[in-house]
Amino acid sequence: MSREKDIYEVIYDIVRLIPKGRVSSYGAIAAAIGMKSGARLVGYAMNHSHDALPYVPAHRVVNRNGLLTGKHHFGSEDAMQKLLEQEGIKVENDGVVDFEKIFWNPSEEISL
């Protein structure tokens, strides 16, 4: 347990910064923190996000295709889709509708 902020915590912060009604991709977040090829790390971090506090809206994070690849980790396969729909995001065939339109780029927010 390092006193320093682990990369995971940084990822959690990014995910928490995702505004309601928007979604982001693992690769985008990874690139935002400087690991443009560390998409897997983001996914791995999300897996631990269940212990992260405050709550991490991991349901707003999808793969590059906009597919709810991590829905299985929410306990119920419909849980993630349900959460997204509650935020006004339409989900169809396990994929976010208009993903490119509601896509939130963390790099732009972080650079600010």
Cβ-contact 1, 18 below 8 angstroms: no
* Residue selected from 14, 18, 58, 89 as contacting DNA according to rule CB under 7 A: 58
Quote the least distance from Cβ 41 to DNA, whole Å: 4
Quote the least distance from Cβ 101 to DNA, whole Å: 17
* Residue selected from 17, 22, 44, 87 as contacting DNA according to rule CB under 7 A: 44
* Residue selected from 64, 86, 90, 98 as contacting DNA according to rule CB under 7 A: 64
Contacts of 5 (CB under 8 A, 6+ apart): none
Task: Rule CB under 7 A: say whether 40 interacts with DNA.
Answer: yes
Task: Rule CB under 7 A: say whether 39 interacts with DNA.
Answer: yes
Residue by residue, DSSP assigns 83-96 as HHHHTT--EETTEE
Cβ-contact 46, 56 below 8 angstroms: yes
Question: From the CB of residue 32, how many other CB atoms can be counted at a distance below 10 Å?
Answer: 22
Q: Give me the residue label for tokens 């006004």.
A: 88
Q: Hey, what are 4's tokens?
A: 């320093």
Q: Which of residues 76-105 bind DNA (CB under 7 A)?
A: none
Task: Rule CB under 7 A: say whether 17 interacts with DNA.
Answer: no
Q: Hey, what are 40's tokens?
A: 């897997």
Binding site residues, DNA, CB under 7 A: 6-8, 25-27, 35, 37-44, 46-47, 49-50, 58-59, 61, 63-65, 69-70, 72-74
